[in-house]
Chain A
Amino acid sequence: MSSRKLPPGFREEVLDSDTEEYFVNMGPQHPSTHGALRLALRLDGETIVEVVPHFGYIHRGIEKQAESMNYLQYIMLSDRQDYLTAIQNNWGICLAFEKGLGIGVPERGEFIRVMLAELGRIASHLVFYACFGGDLGGQTALLFGFKEREMIHDILDEVTGSRLTTNFFRPGGSVHDIPDTFIPRVTSFLEHLEKSMVDYERFLSKNIIVLERTKGIGILSKEDAIAYGCSGPVLRASGVSYDVRKNDPYGIYDQLDFDVPITYRGDTYDRYVVRIAEIHESIKILRQCIKLFPEGPYRSKEKPSIRLNPGSYYSATETAKGLYATYVVAASGDKPYRIHTRGPSFANLAALNNMARGHKISDLVSILSTIDPVIPEIDR
């Protein structure tokens, strides 16, 4: 048995079954691998014995490109990592640069950042809701989730000039101030969203088939979640209360009142519940920001080219997917010596085999969907 030649990536493992296993390539062209991800499946009938994720199909060498770009140009590349949380990536990069420059952000600038980031978080979680529903077989949920997300993108479009790849924040603030229509638009959008979330939750959260499909499936224990370096909703669904916004606050998150939703079973349903609860927390944060939104400058200082003081700088932010950390090594000159990004999807995806083992193909699809990976961020 052990002398058998396995495809690359699989562990040698003796099974006590008489049946013949077989191997299926899921992806890179597959409707539910969320991009160019390839999963090599080792199947016993329909039961998954082992999953090996292979990635690198859309590797663009972003970190290497950064070394030949100046600091401001790199902000554009952060959009191209996790495109669903582009605005939060911008923030993470800018935080590291601000540390290197030794500058802060004016209060209005901080509020703009928080509000846009939370809108981005809602948009990302709505995409999760859509894909999760779609992956379970409910095509209607797919369209529902994208409907409200489009409204967020309309707002982002007005503010940043771009729907998806925002490229909006700069060290010390943002490119330009927000338009006057921003606050009224967000206010009316939040009212609309709260109404539609009631319907959306009724559509999936209490559907008996969804509950049967998700409860007790793909359990990731607390210890495993920590060991794999998971973060974000995947970690919090397993019962670890860790949110960078609370544990290591950046921006003005320490002044805002919000909760970190956590659940304890760590199954597919819990990961879904955590994300839905986070949408509500984001609505809460946005409401507070609208109430407190100050006047004043939006950017601390403008300089045509920025040069970081030599040294290494680290910033950690909580995007919708989890811990997004940037490590910048600055030498003299206007280009970084090295920039490394720690993306959340990469670590979360590593736990896939642990979660999916022993379940059916259908469950693998829903488990992968609750990891909510964005492949360009894994490959970079």
Chain B
Amino acid sequence: MMIPSVPHPLGDWVRQMIPIPELAFLANALICIIAICAVAIGSAPILIYMERKVCAHIQCRLGPMRLGYRGTLQTIADVMKLLFKEVYAPSGADKFVFYLAPMIVLVAPFLVLAMIPFDHNLQVSNLSVGIPFVIAVNGFGILAILIGGWASNNKYSLLGALRSGAQMISYEISFALVLLFVVMVSGSASLMEITLSQSGTILDWWIFKIPVLGFLAFIMFFISSIAELNRAPFDIAEAEQELTGGYHTEYNGTAFAMFYLAEYINLITISSLASTCFLGGFFPPLIGVEAVDTILLKVPGFLWFAGKVVLMIWAYMMVRWTFVRPRVDQLMALEWKFLLPFNLLLLALGAVYIAF
């Protein structure tokens, strides 16, 4: 049996400590899984706190202020509350599927997170088909929403699930196409290769490297990823004002916490994708001035990466609390009549750019 091994200081150390290669491989994999889970689950409460504060300040409020310093412990308290609540299914619900949905909703974001290069040596798996893999597993999240909404035996949940199904299937296309654009211009589907192709100054990032086209592609990515994330203004699957919570109307306690957690981990994964594909990944924004660049290079890459991710998340939050929600048919029209043709045009123009 061939054990894949990528040179890495930590991995090499584990391989030295554990002489049996199979066991060493297992230990390395476990370390990766724990690290990814720790990063994702640990940052979700921080993001929830951030969302509350961003939203509050947009709405001229203060947000949580009572628990801990400026309300920092509020999310912890909320998580505790959700964990200690009794989980029950409505009568008539398909119990097995009902409880399965919150479990599989977390699968997709973790699988995507395993592909993300956080730094030169900080990547769980460097697949050569990284982007197709990301597109493929990202569609997994919709499965949870669909079966969760269906199994709830609630008309609002069903409507939300069906809306979500229609929306995700539509927006997956432009999401994939805009990632294909990046694959095309960078010449590789591996996320590490895509990042490395953006080394250099800030102008070498794909958002700026190709005049106009890169920026347009970024905007396209931003729009379709909001729909992918099921966040307002494209949160028609939840649509509190219309469907009282949509697909997760009947979920409570830990089961609801899973959906809630998945929403924020999805936010991290999509923002990571955005910063990998468009914002230069872990590279610092060098501006070509020697004195400034040496200082910028002193900051480790994963901090730059985290900074970009937070910037993207902040942008998503700003959009969420600024716009109102389009109607279902308008959302579909936006995808099929505007985004999809435009994305195809973008791909064609990208091809022309490469050719010359």
A144 & B324 in contact (Cβ 8 Å cutoff): no
Q: How far is the CA of A328 from the CA of B313 in the complex (A)?
A: 61
For chain A, the count of residues having a C-beta within 8 Å of the partner chain is 29
**Which of A32, A144, A209 meets B242, CB within 8 Å?**
A32
Min CB distance B131 to A, Å, is 31
Min CB distance B231 to A, Å, is 11
A136 & B156 in contact (Cβ 8 Å cutoff): no
B60 & A144 in contact (Cβ 8 Å cutoff): yes
Min CB distance A40 to B, Å, is 12
- Chain A residues with CB under 8 Å of B236's CB are 362
Residue of A nearest to B321 (CB): A140
B326 & A144 in contact (Cβ 8 Å cutoff): no
Contact A361:B242 (CB < 8 A) given known A209-B324, A213-B327: yes
The reply on B338 being an interface residue by CB < 8 A is no
In residues 241-287 of chain B, which contact A (Cβ within 8 Å)? 241-244
Q: How far is the CA of A83 from the CA of B15 in the complex (A)?
A: 73
For chain B, the count of residues having a C-beta within 8 Å of the partner chain is 29
Task: Count A-B contacts at CB 8 Å.
Answer: 79
B241 & A134 in contact (Cβ 8 Å cutoff): yes
The reply on A139 being an interface residue by CB < 8 A is yes
Contact with B along A350-375 (1 / 0, CB 8 A): 00000000001111010000000000
Residue of B nearest to A25 (CB): B155
Contact A135:B58 (CB < 8 A) given known A24-B156, A362-B328: no
Q: How far is the CA of A365 from the CA of B327 in the complex (A)?
A: 11
Min CB distance A41 to B, Å, is 9
Chain B interface, DSSP helix/strand/loop, else mixed: loop
Contact with B along A114-138 (1 / 0, CB 8 A): 0000000000000000000111111
Q: How far is the CA of A204 from the CA of B244 in the complex (A)?
A: 23
The reply on B217 being an interface residue by CB < 8 A is no
Contact A207:B324 (CB < 8 A) given known A24-B156, A32-B241: yes
B323 & A138 in contact (Cβ 8 Å cutoff): yes
- Chain A residues with CB under 8 Å of B237's CB are none
- Chain B residues with CB under 8 Å of A161's CB are none
Q: Which of A140, A144, A210 has the most CB of B within 10 A?
A: A140
Q: How far is the CA of A147 from the CA of B155 in the complex (A)?
A: 35
B244 & A140 in contact (Cβ 8 Å cutoff): no
Interface residues of A (CB under 8 A from B): 22, 24, 30-32, 46, 133-141, 143-144, 147, 204, 207, 209-210, 212-213, 360-363, 365
**Would you list the 10 A-B pairs with minimal beta carbon distance, nearest first?**
A137-B325, A143-B59, A138-B324, A136-B324, A32-B241, A137-B324, A362-B327, A135-B241, A24-B155, A140-B321
Other than the given A137-B241, A143-B61, A147-B60, 19 more pairs (CB < 8 A) read A31-B240, A31-B244, A46-B159, A135-B241, A136-B324, A138-B323, A138-B325, A139-B55, A139-B321, A140-B55, A140-B59, A144-B60, A204-B324, A207-B324, A212-B326, A213-B324, A213-B326, A362-B242, A365-B241
**Interchain residue pairs with CB less than 8 A apart (14):** A30-B244, A31-B240, A31-B241, A46-B159, A46-B163, A137-B241, A138-B323, A138-B325, A139-B321, A141-B324, A204-B324, A213-B327, A362-B236, A362-B242
